[in-house]
Amino acid sequence: MLRPRALNVTVQVKGARLSRRRTDCALAGNGGGGSADTPVGAWAEFIRHEGITEEADLASVDRSLWAVEIPEAAYPKPNLPRSTLLGGLLTYTDCQDEARRLRQGGAQCLEAPSAALLPRGARGWVAMPNIQAAHGSRSGKVWVWFGARPDFAAWPAVEGGTPPSRVLPLVRQLTF
């Protein structure tokens, strides 16, 4: 299955994206990388962790969006309260500890709810003739993998692009 991933190809290091401010997500803080289940989710992860809150700030973004093929599997899920998984910086340590526990238990990848998207924010759009939200929005998911994954094929979908401004209201901003 293809999973969109926001990353900057100029800082790609062994399959993990490096962010200017924070890690891709708290769960990936143990040498991992991550993907979202929708392009909106991938952009939301980037926007949240870069601290972007204003539409004007999007104009300076020059990022790539990749579609990553992650094998279909029943990946382990963190055993944490939803409020912890969706929390801000105060819950990072708990998330990182849980990711470490799963990795030490042999997990190579895990699945979690997207902390970056608001509920029902993993949506698409339709043109009828104007662009509007498509029916069937859902809550987003992310997959976090540990270490380099040369078995994950990827395709560039956008090179040097900017997140669409319509994603901003769907982002759960990072709290401190």
Q: What is the rounded distance in angstroms from the CA atom of residue 101 to the CA atom of residue 106?
A: 9
CA–CA–CA angle 54, 58, 61 (5° rounding): 145
Domain residue ranges of the chain, discontinuous segments joined by + = 2-170
pLDDT in tens, 120-175: 888 888 888 888 888 877 889 998 888 888 888 888 888 888 888 989 999 999 87
Model pTM above 0.85: no
> In this structure, what DSSP letter does residue 115 have?
S
With beta carbons less than 8 A apart as the criterion, state whether 126 and 134 touch.
yes
Q: What pLDDT is stored for residue 136 in this prediction? A: 78
Task: Please provide the average confidence, as pLDDT, over all residues in the chain.
Answer: 80
pLDDT exceeds 80 at position 24: no
Tell me the mean pLDDT in the region 34-52: 88
Write phi, then psi, for 13 (nearest 5 degrees): -130, 110
Pair type for strands 63-69 and 2-7: antiparallel
